[in-house]
Amino acid sequence: MRSILAFLLLPTLGFSQQDYSTRELKDGKFKMDSSYIYTLPFEEKKKVFLVQGYESKLFSHKGEKALDFKVRSGTKVCAARGGIVSAVRNDSDKGGLKPENLSDGNYISIQHEDGSVAWYWHFQKNGVLVNAGDPVAKGQLIGLSGNTGYSAFPHLHFEVQGPDGAGNFGQLPTRFYTQQGVIYLRPGKFYRPIHP
């Protein structure tokens, strides 16, 4: 239990972005970036804590460009970008840290007009509020957070996959509108979304 508590309270140090080294990001040496700017996947002005960021070595994001937001079960999750719902799962009530739990998570995937896909994971049972084929708008309520799948505590796992600058399909870093401005999120901090 102590190790889980420490995990929740300690910020992670690893952070990376496509085409930039971890050192460049830590030093704040961002180059011109014209990628899409996402809305945090929560109601406007809701305070959320980012537990785990890109390339975190603390728990489960080693080699991944994904974000984990610590939120209570039942927290309203909104679309970070508009698109078409491409897949959902809504029937699981299982969660934990065993290998078999990897396939137990409830999720939503939303395909965007540029071909990228956002994945939202760990919804509570019957907490997915959209269906495959539904169009969704940025900021629209899509589900209720939970603790299903490979999960030690209630949280929302968010990632975007799509083609990088070289045309390879994989996980992409994302910038967000926040009350602190347009930024790449850092773990161990609280953020409040804005919906421009």
Can you state the percent helix, strand and coil of the chain, rounding each to 5? 10, 40, 50
Catalytic site residue from 61, 122, 155, 157: 155
Confirm whether 61 is a catalytic residue: no
Residue count of the chain, please give it: 196
| Cα angle value 119/121/123 (rounded, 5°) | 135
**SS3 labels along 77-120:** EECCCCEEEEEEECCCCCEECCHHHHHCCEEEEEECCCCCEEEE
Instruction: Write out the catalytic residue numbers.
Output: 155
